[in-house]
Amino acid sequence: MKKISIIIPVYNEAKTILEILRRVKATPFDKEIIVVDDGSNDETHEILKKNSNGIKLLTHTKNMGKGAAIRTALPHVTGEIIIIQDADLEYHPSDYGLLVQPILDGMADVVYGSRFLGGPHRVLFFWHFLGNKILTTLSNMLTDLNLSDMETGYKAFRSEILKGIKIESNRFGFEPEVTAKVAKMRCRIYEVPISYWGRDYSEGKKIRWKDGLAAIYWIIKFNLFG
């Protein structure tokens, strides 16, 4: 079994960080857990310091974004497969087996966990759903891929693939950027259905409409000019 490196960017997730760590640690894989505290200003950092056993804890002094956190974590990766794990509870580590199997079978370089291929999911936000479809369609038009969920937070990579990408975007632009770049590298990309336990804004959801506009910029930049 290949070793899996799980990168967890975290910003102000004091309510969920211990539970997501518990779920990740419970997965039956040879793994390392790399947590990047991205400048949290709530109790997240104190919680992580008190519960750092079994994890590699890295810290940003100010909030820089998901892409920057992944960039910080990559030099510390020692596993052959990388999974990106958000620190909220929207994506469940019980799906890791689905994500890594195409890589273990030698069929894939990159695997996207799609929220729209039939897995159980919480019913929320029509306009977010529509926005996601628009962004995925625009990305597909420029990459010539047929992804159903470009913006998914669950992506698995053969480590040398992600380590070989120069990540430029600091925030949520990571998703369209890495999609454009693995397409240009002609990586073997698979999708698998995952469960999705979405949260609403009262529960701490961070993404806003401005992030959708920024995603359009990143899609065009990295596909046409990157």
Q: Using alpha carbons, list the distances in angstroms from residue 7 to 26, 67, 121, 170.
A: 15, 11, 23, 15
- 13: amino acid identity, one letter: E
pTM of the model: 0.91
CATH fold of 4-123+152-168+187-205, please? Answer: Spore Coat Polysaccharide Biosynthesis Protein SpsA; Chain A (3.90.550)
Every domain of the chain and the residues it spans: 4-123+152-168+187-205
Instruction: Write the pLDDT tens digit of every residue in 125-173.
Output: 676 778 888 999 999 999 999 999 999 999 999 999 999 999 999 987 9
Closest CA to 27 of 102, 84, 95: 95
pLDDT at 208: 60
pLDDT above 70: percentage of residues in the chain: 90
